[in-house]
Amino acid sequence: MSDISKFRMLLTCVLGVVATIGIARFAYTPMIPEMARGVGLSESVAGYLAAANYAGYLSGALLISFIHSLALKARLYKIGLLSAVLTSMAMALTTSEPVWYLLRYLSGLSSSAGMLLGGGLLMHWLMKRNHKAELGIFFSGLGIGIVITAILAVIIKDIFTWEQQWLIYGAVTLLLILPVWLWLPDFSAEQSLPKHHTRQIPMPSSFMPVLQLAYFCAGAGYVISATFLITIAESIDALAGQGWMIWLVAGLSCAPASALWDKVINITGQWQALFAAYLLNALSILILLLSHQLIAVIISALIYGASFIGIVGMMLSMVGRLFPDNPSRPMSRLTFSYGIAQVIAPAIVGLMAEYYGNFNNGLILTLIIMLIGCTALLLAQRIEQRAEQSAALRNTV
């Protein structure tokens, strides 16, 4: 296969993220109230289904960390694309909860393929050809997917049954993966990149566990809004029927945010920008607790979309900078921590919402977790600074 242009390669991988996460994952958020009306889906089951999806993502992340063959990664990536289509459509064909759990789990596997395999293949392709690794553009696929699901939701929710809506989401996913399938380069002949020989500052053994704790907390802050934002909006009398608009706002703020955070990093530095993203994510949760007015929920969604994608992009790029010789291992450890939070948090908050009759206590718990994450992030920064000071002292001796 002849090599494709940089633009087409970027577009290929962005479309893969839109299909496997933007729709196969995020379509579930506007579908929760539709399934609640159609088949009586409870808050607890909605949370369990979200947990099953993230368990699939976590399993995929662990599996991918052991794969080194580029050709195998490309094959599994294509399988993930196809799975995104089939698992969405299959949700319409049954009302069996155990089957739903299996489908959401498999959908999570496809999401890990779109994000981790797609991102890895893109980075390899760009670096092999001496291009800048423009992952900010890659992460924009998350926001684009949210926008697509929000627009689709408002178009189809009053016309089609919940089963038909799942089939429509699956059909749109199929349209998105077709160009990805056709344009993806042949990686069977690609050679692995040589190891970087950048001088690396030794980090204390405490650094990664503390950073993992911070990222675990960020995973909880991300997943609660990703799962329940529309449901929370629809549960407010003044916002009934406006859930799609709230989700659209989140997507519109998410799509350009990675590029904006790059500019913030240039001004403030990596740690300060990351801490600001954590505080903004916590603020988005606090706003939901303090006010049920339409403007407040819109502001919360706007801040949420911009902050969560900033945390993901900046955290992964930071460990790549700190561990340039072998970035895949710390990235896998962080992804594991983030994934664990995404499995546990929706199930707990869903149960709390069903027990108390609202999401307030679940949001309070999530806010506390995010504040713990801010503290852990500050501690990780201090550990890194001490390591740099020790390295500088050794170099002067």
- For 152-183, write each residue's pLDDT tens digit: 988 998 899 999 999 999 999 999 999 999 99
In this prediction, residue 268 carries a pLDDT of 92
Q: Which of 141, 169, 194 is the last residue of a domain?
A: 194
Highest mean pLDDT among 51-65, 74-88, 330-344: 74-88
In this prediction, residue 389 carries a pLDDT of 79
Q: Quote the pTM value.
A: 0.80
Does residue 259 share a domain with residue 180? no
User: How confident is the prediction for the chain on average, in pLDDT?
Assistant: 85
Does residue 234 share a domain with residue 190? no
pLDDT band (50, 70, 90) for residue 192: low
Does residue 249 share a domain with residue 157? no
Handedness of CA 156, 161, 162, 165 (dihedral sign): negative
339 residue type, one letter: G
Does residue 257 share a domain with residue 174? no
Q: Which of 153, 168, 194 is the last residue of a domain?
A: 194
Does residue 163 share a domain with residue 90? yes
Q: Say what percent of the chain tops pLDDT 70.
A: 91
C-alpha distances (whole Å) from 356 to each of 44, 166, 237 are 12, 30, 18
Does residue 342 share a domain with residue 274? yes
- Between CA 377 and CA 70 the distance in angstroms is 34
Q: Does residue 222 surpass a pLDDT of 80?
A: yes
Tell me the residue range of the domain where 391 lies: 195-397
Closest listed residue to residue 73, CA positions, set 223, 186, 161: 186
- For 229-283, write each residue's pLDDT tens digit: 777 777 777 777 777 788 888 888 988 887 788 889 889 988 999 999 999 999 9
Q: Which of 194, 213, 232 is the last residue of a domain?
A: 194
- For 123-155, write each residue's pLDDT tens digit: 778 877 877 665 777 888 888 888 898 889 889
Highest mean pLDDT among 172-186, 198-212, 291-305, 376-390: 172-186
* Domain CATH number, residue 108: 1.20.1250.20
Does residue 102 share a domain with residue 69? yes
Which residue carries 């340039």 as its tokens?
A: 324
In this prediction, residue 133 carries a pLDDT of 60
Read off the pLDDT of each residue in 29-36 and give the average, rounded to a whole number.
Answer: 90
Contacts of 148 (CB under 8 A, 6+ apart): 18, 22, 23, 172, 251
Query: Dihedrals φ, ψ of 336, to 5°?
Result: -60, -45
Task: Provide the number of structural domains found in the chain.
Answer: 2
Read off the pLDDT of each residue in 30-56 and give the average, rounded to a whole number.
Answer: 89
pLDDT higher at 333 or 73: 73
Does residue 241 share a domain with residue 345? yes
Torsional class of 357: left (φ above 0), alpha (ψ -120 to 50), beta (otherwise): left
CA 74 to chain centre: 21
Read off the pLDDT of each residue in 17-33 and give the average, rounded to a whole number.
Answer: 89
With H, G, I as helix, E, B as strand and everything else as coil, classify residue 195: coil
- Between CA 153 and CA 62 the distance in angstroms is 32
In this prediction, residue 291 carries a pLDDT of 84
pLDDT higher at 70 or 332: 70
Does residue 332 share a domain with residue 361? yes
- For 306-333, write each residue's pLDDT tens digit: 999 899 888 877 876 677 655 556 777 7
Does residue 384 share a domain with residue 367? yes
Closest listed residue to residue 381, CA positions, set 332, 313, 322: 322
Does residue 216 share a domain with residue 200? yes
